[in-house]
Each structure stands twice: as structure tokens, then as C-alpha cells.
Structure 1
Amino acid sequence: MPAHLSRRSALGLGAAAAAVSAGMSGPAAAARPDDGVASTGGPRVIRRVYEQEKAKAGGTWHTHIAAVDPAGVPRPIVEDDADHVTEGYSVQKLAVAAAVMDKIDRGQLTLGTKLDLQQDIILEGSGIYFLHAVWGDEITVANFLTAMLLMSDNTAVRMCGRVVPAAEINDILAAKGFTHTRVEPVENPHRFFLGTTTPREMHDLLWRLATGTLLAPASCRFLLSIARSINGYHDGIRRTMSSEERSRIATKYGADFNDLGASRHEAGIMFGRDGKPKLTYALFAEGLDDRDNYGSTHPAVQAHAVIGRTLLDHLPAG
């Protein structure tokens, strides 16, 4: 892709991009306590590491990190400009998937509903469908939702738009209490850019998804099972973790660039070994250097890896 062309522009009037790379490189994990027991001063350690990594990576960060208290209520640990409205890029695919599942919950669609994968809808960037070279398959809603969340497939966003138009997605999100989490409609009602969110609203979406209150419980479990898959994105938060540890983290990455510079985002939720949600994170960093590096060596992605290891090491006790 030409260096002067943003990933958002390259995708046309359909979807913004997330770069999903499979690199597993990174610093070795430091010695750590049993992650089933909260260590003394956990919030203080998390705040210190966050500030250190933010300073090293540069750019402007907008962040919300929250951990459950003894009563199981999420309490903020880091609130760093957490109400800033920002381009969510492919983190927004979580909100789009939630809107599709809401329509399924209302009986207007099913996971088994099939659509043809048309050649004129194919987008490059991240994902798998553009690699097929031939198209015309009939694929289920479950198929393209899985591709969108697991591989951050851009064509899958357009498939979502065929079953839930942009205006309906925004109406669903508004009805669920989100003020700033919106897709950006374009002339074609079935196409959209991925739009905006805030770290606090993404925390809310994640927490309600993890507690089975955002959608029907079965729909929440379906989306979480994809986001928690160990076949997903590993360059950031989950980089220096075992397979078992990775399976307890539902995460979504988003990356692009704009006039401010590069953006590297990641949001997700961590579960304890008892299966209960313990901590949410929503890290949105913009104005970064190294614009065309979508791999694990980008400074902000390296920061995510260090922060992620720290978060897991200091999960609240289960």
C-alpha cells in the first residue's frame, strides 16, 4: 500500500482497517505472581506501568482501565481522558457485531442466515475473504461475524451492512445507551465508515458483554467466544502469555492513521480462572510515529504488550 494512502481511504466507502499480524516477538515475560491472587498495590503498579509505557510510546493516549472490587463492581484504575471521542477504527467492529446480534435477538435474523459473497463487495487490508481469489460462496452470518472479530476482516463489515444498515446500527447503539459509539453513514445506506467511540463507552460495552447484559446471554457468549479465541490477535495485550492465559482475554485491535499520525488501539476484557470478568481495558493511542508499521514492533503495540502482562499479573482475586 502506498505510504501516502491511509488504510481508511484505501478501503473505500465501506470499512476502516485493522492490521492483524501474527508476529509473536516481544520481550520475555517478567517473573510474576499467581494471577489468581491480587498482589499488594496492584492498581498503583498498573498506573505506574501505564504511564511509563505511554511516555515511551509517545503520541496522545485516551484510556480507561477498570478492575472489579470485592463486591464484583468494576472500579476505574486508569482514567486518562476517558471521555475523549476518537476514531475507533477496527475496535468498532465489536459495536457492529453487537448490533447484528441485537437484530438476531429480536428474531429478525439468525446466525444461520446465508448471504452470497459478491466479488464487488470484496475489500483488501485485513481479513481472509480477499485472499480467496474466487468468490460467490454463500456464507452464514455466523461465518462473517467470526471473520470480522477474529481476523478483523474488512469485507465482513460490508456483509454486516447488508443485514443491518448504518442508520439501524446507530439506532441500536443509541437504544443501548451509547452516546458517542456510532458508525459513520455514507450515501449507500448499507455502507459506512467505522466511526467513533470513547474509552469509557467501550468499557461499558465490554463489561455488559461479559456480564451477559448487552445482548441475550447466548449472543454475548457467542461474541466473547470469538474474541477470546487463541487464534486471534496476539501482538499486543496477549503477546507474552501462555495459551491458557490468552484464552481468558477477549480483545479487539484497531489501527490506522490520520492527519495526527498513526493510531494504535486495543480494547478487551480479562477473566479469572473462575470464569468471572475481572478487568476491562480500552487503550486508544493516536498521533503516533511509525505510521506504516502495523506489526508487533510498533512502539504503542509494544507498550500494549507490557501493559497487558501487568494487568494480568494484577487481576483482582477470584
Structure 2
Amino acid sequence: MAEQMSRRAAIGIGAAAAALVATPGGAAAAPGTSGGAAPSGHDAAQALIRRTYRQQKARAGGAWRSHVAMVDDSGALRTVVADDVDRVTHGYSVQKLAVAVAVMDKIDRGELALGQRLDLTGDIILGGSGIYFLHTVWGDEITVANFLTAMLLVSDNTSVRMCGRVVPALEINEILAAKGFTHTRVEPVANPNRFFLGVTTPRETHDLLWRLATKTLLSTRSCDFLLGILRWVNGYHDGIRRDMSSAERSRVATKYGADYDESGAARHEAGIMFDATGAPTLTYAFFADSLGDLDNYGGTHPAVRAHATLGRVMFDAVGPVTNRAARARHSVNRFRPVNGG
């Protein structure tokens, strides 16, 4: 959606950046600037993101592995935050992005279609996040497009099993390997059509997101399909997109993941921010585990609060940036409520 940055947001990022430069003991000068020289607006925005990340990570606790990258004034993508970016970690529901990519790859090769129908039977239903288990009765025939939308928009767990019916676990891993991902894998089980969601790294998640946004990961049509779901305003709002208007939210494609293991809770979120022209401008991949508040999956979890704070700061940073060099852009329709009829 094309939307100009609000005057309030523009003033906010300028004031915050200026305060960062002026504050003694603040973040170190951005790369490429001398210690005594005020950084440019872009460098100050990057410094503010790094400072906010350090503060929020310390406040939330746990072990964080993160990657943030942002285009500079020339349109080149520059790393802003690189924190243990090659650590292999359980991606939990963020991995549904990789699963969806594998399904779309098979569609691009003509071996599957978005309109292909599969039966949704009671024996495949999984609880947890999602919508299908809420039906209480089953027997529908649903399209591939249907369960991919449910998997990415509301993180439906049954959809993962539906994906496994059309792209088995070993084939998913083969597709990901062929696309250059070394660590991003699902975990096969005895049933070849089922799997655990597996592992990834912040760097590979960033690469997947950037290639999706620049439409080099899949066909243009397939990238647009996935981005349209991830950017839609009915998706996840507790984290990065919490403190944004509906119009601002539609400029952010995001995927959340949460679970726990013996080390504690995990709260992850990864996505892409677009400028007002629809050009990809910033990617983020935040993986945090060994956290407390194990059973809190809401917006008050400390790591989710951290995501919300980071989301506002990052969005305000990209507000004044226009990626004029972008070769690929993406837009979504403006949200308009419909009162039946």
C-alpha cells in the first residue's frame, strides 16, 4: 500500500536520532563516521536500532540470536544487527515460511497447483495455534491455497500436516538445499508425510526473507502470493506490528513462532518492512529462547514487548527511506471493512 510517512513519525525518528548523537555515553558512532562527527540520518537510524536492540534484549533476558538489515541511501542492503547470526536454532512456527516456500517451489515447477483439493479429515487435525481444530467437525475439501493461507496468517498447525501430504519431509529438505540453504531444515519422522518444524539460523532466515521480497526465491506470482498473506492486517499483531496503524501494519510482512523446551520459553519473529512505494527496505529475524514466562503467549511476554518496541523503532527508521534502486516491489490492497450484504 502506498502511504506517505506521517509527520509525527518523521519528527519522532529525527528527534530520537538527534538525541542519540547528543547523549553522552550513548551508542558508538556508526561505521564510516568519525567519533566527533554527527552521523547522517541513515547512520543515526541504524545506531538507534542497534541501541534499542541491546536495551530490549537485556530487559527481556534469555538468549537472543538476531539479524537486522536495512537499505542505505544508495539502495544497498547493509547489516544493522548481527548477533550470533549463524547459530542453528529451533525456528518453531517461523519455519512455516520455509515449508510454504517448498510447497510454492513445487507449484512453480508445475507438479502441484494452488487450486488442488485435499480432504480435511479428523485424523490429521492438530491443536495449538490455528483454526481447523476449532471446527469440531471435519470432512471439507480444501485447496492448497486455503491451508497455506491458514498456516501463514494464523499459524495453523494442521496446515503443516497438509503441506506434508503434497511435499514430503525429505523433499522439503531437498528443495531448501537446492535453494542454497545449508541449515534450514524440517525434521523427518517415521511417517514420510509428517515432520517437526526443525531448525534454521538468523542469517538464513534473513536470506529467505530478502529473496522472497526481491522475488528471486520463487516465481514473481508465488512470491506475491506469500507476501500478500504475510502483510495482511488480520495476521499477528502482538509483536513487531503492535504499535502501528492498520496502514502501517500492511507494510510489514511478519511471521511469529513460540514454543518451549527444557531451557525455557522461545519467542521468535521474522519479517520484512516495505517503504511507501512497496520496495523492500528492512528485514528482521529475532530468535530468543531460554526465556521465562513459559505459558504466556500474549503481548505481555517480555520478549514480545521487546519485539513491539523494536518494531516501532525500525518502522520509523524506514519511513523516510525510499529504495529507488529496488527492482521488485510489492503492494497490498487497502483494507476496507465490509458489513455483509
> TM-score, normalised on structure 1?
0.89
Match of 2:20 in 1: none
Residue 258 (structure 1) aligned with residue 237 (structure 2): no
SS of the residue corresponding to residue 210 of structure 2 reads: helix
SS of the residue corresponding to residue 226 of structure 1 reads: helix
Match of 2:9 in 1: 32
Which of the numbers 166, 179, 184 marks the counterpart of 1:181? 184
Give the Cα–Cα distance (whole angstroms) in 1 for the partners of residues 75 and 294 of structure 2. Answer: 39
Residue 124 (structure 1) aligned with residue 127 (structure 2): yes
Match of 1:139 in 2: 142
SS of the residue corresponding to residue 10 of structure 2 reads: coil
SS of the residue corresponding to residue 9 of structure 2 reads: coil
The answer on whether the counterparts of 1:35 and 1:314 sit within 8 Å (CA) in structure 2 is no
Give the Cα–Cα distance (whole angstroms) in 1 for the partners of residues 75 and 189 of structure 2. Answer: 41
Q: Which runs of 5+ in 2 are unaligned?
A: 1-7, 15-40, 323-341
Q: What is the CA-CA distance between 1:250 and the residue it aligns to?
A: 0.2
Aligned length: 288
Give the Cα–Cα distance (whole angstroms) in 2 for the partners of residues 287 and 133 of structure 1. Answer: 35
Match of 2:247 in 1: 244
Give 2:121's aligned amino acid: Q
Match of 1:219 in 2: 222
Q: What is the CA-CA distance between 1:69 and the residue it aligns to?
A: 2.0
Question: Over alpha carbons, which structure has the higher Rg?
Answer: 2
The answer on whether the counterparts of 2:65 and 2:84 sit within 8 Å (CA) in structure 1 is yes
**Which 4+ stretches in 1 moved above 3 angstroms?**
34-40
Match of 2:287 in 1: 284
Which of the numbers 43, 49, 52 marks the counterpart of 1:49? 52
Q: What is the CA-CA distance between 1:118 and the residue it aligns to?
A: 1.1
Which of the numbers 315, 318, 321 marks the counterpart of 1:317? 321
The answer on whether the counterparts of 1:36 and 1:272 sit within 8 Å (CA) in structure 2 is no
Q: What is the CA-CA distance between 1:39 and the residue it aligns to?
A: 5.7
Which of the numbers 110, 113, 116 marks the counterpart of 1:107? 110
Structure-to-structure mapping, 1:61-100, within 5 angstroms = 61-100=64-103
- Per-residue Cα deviation, 1:155-183 (whole angstroms, up to 9, x for no partner): 00000000000000000000000000000
Give the Cα–Cα distance (whole angstroms) in 1 for the partners of residues 293 and 110 of structure 2. Answer: 45
Which of the numbers 310, 315, 327 marks the counterpart of 1:307? 310
The answer on whether the counterparts of 1:33 and 1:39 sit within 8 Å (CA) in structure 2 is no
Match of 1:298 in 2: 301
Match of 1:14 in 2: none
Q: What is the CA-CA distance between 1:70 and the residue it aligns to?
A: 2.7
- Per-residue Cα deviation, 1:195-235 (whole angstroms, up to 9, x for no partner): 00000000000000001100001000000000000000000
The answer on whether the counterparts of 1:290 and 1:298 sit within 8 Å (CA) in structure 2 is yes
Q: Percent identity?
A: 69
> Relative to structure 1, is the Cα distance of residues 281 and 229 closer, same or farther in structure 2, using a 3 angstrom cutoff?
same
Give the Cα–Cα distance (whole angstroms) in 2 for the partners of residues 83 and 76 of structure 1. Answer: 14
Q: Which runs of 5+ in 1 are unaligned?
A: 1-30
The 10-residue stretch of structure 1 (36-45 or 116-125) with the greater mean CA deviation from structure 2? 36-45
Q: What is the CA-CA distance between 1:192 and the residue it aligns to?
A: 0.2
> Relative to structure 1, is the Cα distance of residues 314 and 306 closer, same or farther in structure 2, using a 3 angstrom cutoff?
same
Give the Cα–Cα distance (whole angstroms) in 1 for the partners of residues 77 and 317 of structure 2. Answer: 14
Match of 1:15 in 2: none
> TM-score, normalised on structure 2?
0.83
Which of the numbers 155, 160, 178 marks the counterpart of 2:158? 155
Q: What is the CA-CA distance between 1:139 and the residue it aligns to?
A: 0.1
Q: What is the CA-CA distance between 1:45 and the residue it aligns to?
A: 0.4
The answer on whether the counterparts of 1:61 and 1:283 sit within 8 Å (CA) in structure 2 is yes
Give the Cα–Cα distance (whole angstroms) in 2 for the partners of residues 103 and 148 of structure 1. Answer: 17
Q: What is the CA-CA distance between 1:36 and the residue it aligns to?
A: 10
> Relative to structure 1, is the Cα distance of residues 36 and 117 closer, same or farther in structure 2, using a 3 angstrom cutoff?
farther
Q: What is the CA-CA distance between 1:257 and the residue it aligns to?
A: 0.3
Q: What is the CA-CA distance between 1:273 and the residue it aligns to?
A: 0.4
Match of 2:167 in 1: 164
SS of the residue corresponding to residue 212 of structure 2 reads: helix
SS of the residue corresponding to residue 91 of structure 1 reads: helix
The answer on whether the counterparts of 1:35 and 1:312 sit within 8 Å (CA) in structure 2 is no
Give the Cα–Cα distance (whole angstroms) in 2 for the partners of residues 65 and 71 of structure 1. Answer: 18
The answer on whether the counterparts of 1:162 and 1:190 sit within 8 Å (CA) in structure 2 is yes
Residue 230 (structure 1) aligned with residue 233 (structure 2): yes
